[in-house]
Copies of this chain bind each other. A is one copy, B any other.
Amino acid sequence: MAYDKQLPKKSDDISGWYNALMLQAELAEYGPAKGTMILRPYGYAIWELVQQKLDAAFKANGVENAYFPIFIPESLLQKEASHLEGFSPELAIVTIGGGEVLQEKLIIRPTSETIMYASYSKWVKSWRDLPIMINQWNNAVRWEKRTYLFLRTTEFLWQEGHTAHATHDEAIVTQKWAMGAYAQLFRDQYALPGYIGTKSATETFAGASSTMTYETLMPGGKALQSATSHDLGQNFAHAFDIKFQDKNSKTEFVWQTSWGLSTRSLGGLFMVHGDDKGLRLPPELAPIQAIILPIRADDKFMSYADQVKSRLIDSKVRAKLDTRDGESLGFKINKWELKGVPLRIEIGAKEQADNKVKIVRRDNGKIAIVDVDKLSETVENLLKQIQDNLYKQAIDALESNTYSTADYADFKQQMSDSKGFIKANWCGNNACESMIKQETTATTRCKTDSTVEGNCIYCGKPHASEWYFAQSY
């Protein structure tokens, strides 16, 4: 039990703070194989809440879940050249099965385009078979040299959606719809604002025609790519021969999209909202929204505490009563603050005598003494306020760390002083992008909404679009 240990201060040592927090809050720990992660029940419960929300949004749009094998024969992965090239350095490979050396190596899926589209090519014959809208919730493996709990792990959990359409327009609509679903999830559940836009050619998914991204700001000023949605064009359709007869009996290749969100996004959630006392979970993603702490464990208190819990459970609040033996009230307060539970409900002798409870907000420490008859209503309101407040704090941080400049010296200075996002014009040339990265450590994150053109901040060429730049997590 580590709740009485001090966390490093977030502002002093973000990396030490983050690692200690993941362990002490019992969210996750490293597995025995390098770079793998054990998602403990408290961390996994947050992922389950994400799954519920996103799965419902997918199904409401006609997406069906399925499951494809984790093993991709090497020859299948080789079918789309740029896809193979992108993933080659990151592969985990099975060479032995059932005591024998395999004739063909099996790749542990880093992503499932190739294995899914081999099936799509068998399933699609006519325009009537389209669209295909399939999602998987599964595990995937990408070998990582430097790992970080949630943010960069060799094995991760995610969903990957894969669609096939009769027209490019329909594919684009789906690519944008998926990004819209992520944006809504990040805004309404994660309380995480971000910038949405298209990636540069060098940052586009291996095998895609275009990649849309949701970029969030981490404390310390780096950007985290939190979810992506790809227009795959007809690249995989050609490689896997996915063709259909259109309404005029003409044979055409399908147009495809893929889109994914992983446990990585939870790392961003913890990073952004946490403070020196530990996690601060947005109520929408808090497995426990209200923790009830009676100051003593005798029968009189416990029956009152039980009544408080029942009221909350009845109004669909995820409430828990901490009856653990052998921990002081102070210890328990620290523990649940560290675990980021949005509301703490304390019950002392006075509260009980007055038929009241004391409610303490995790986000700002504000205290309210509330009549038990008004408990559910008050708690629901407070949870909404906390959700809104966390979003407001995050958007303030994002906006106050987004700069705009047309001067390269200024850009360099800014990136070296305080990082964050910089809006600047770029001509789209790989060479400029690469030199900017080399000289400033900043990468292109995504194109902004702005239609105003300017001169490239590096080469000065006119008619350059505006991009977000930042260091990458």
Chain A interface residues toward B at CB < 8 A:
1, 29, 31-33, 36-41, 43-45, 47-48, 64-73, 76, 88-99, 105-106, 108, 115, 118-119, 125-126, 128, 134, 138-139, 141, 143-145, 154-155, 157, 324-326
Contact = CB atoms under 8 A, between A and B. Distances in A.
A58 B64 CA distance: 25
Given A67-B44, A90-B98, A98-B90, A72 B38 contact: no
Given A32-B118, A108-B108, 20 more contacts: A31-B69, A31-B115, A32-B76, A33-B71, A33-B72, A36-B69, A38-B68, A39-B66, A43-B66, A44-B64, A45-B65, A48-B65, A88-B99, A91-B99, A92-B96, A92-B97, A92-B98, A98-B145, A99-B143, A128-B326
A119 B48 CA distance: 21
B143 A97 contact: yes
Oligomer copy total: 2
Contacts of A1: 125
B98 A96 contact: no
Identify the 8 closest CB pairs spanning chains A and B, nearest first: A98-B143, A36-B69, A41-B64, A31-B69, A33-B71, A39-B67, A93-B96, A95-B95
Contacts of A44: 64-67
A153 B393 CA distance: 50
Contact of A93 (B38, B41, B94, B325): B94
A29 B121 CA distance: 14
A28 to B, nearest CB: 9
A73 B32 contact: yes
A45 B64 contact: yes
B89 A93 contact: no
Nearest to A71: B33
A207 to B, nearest CB: 18
A68 B154 CA distance: 13
Contacts of A43: 66
Contact of A33 (B41, B48, B106, B155): B106
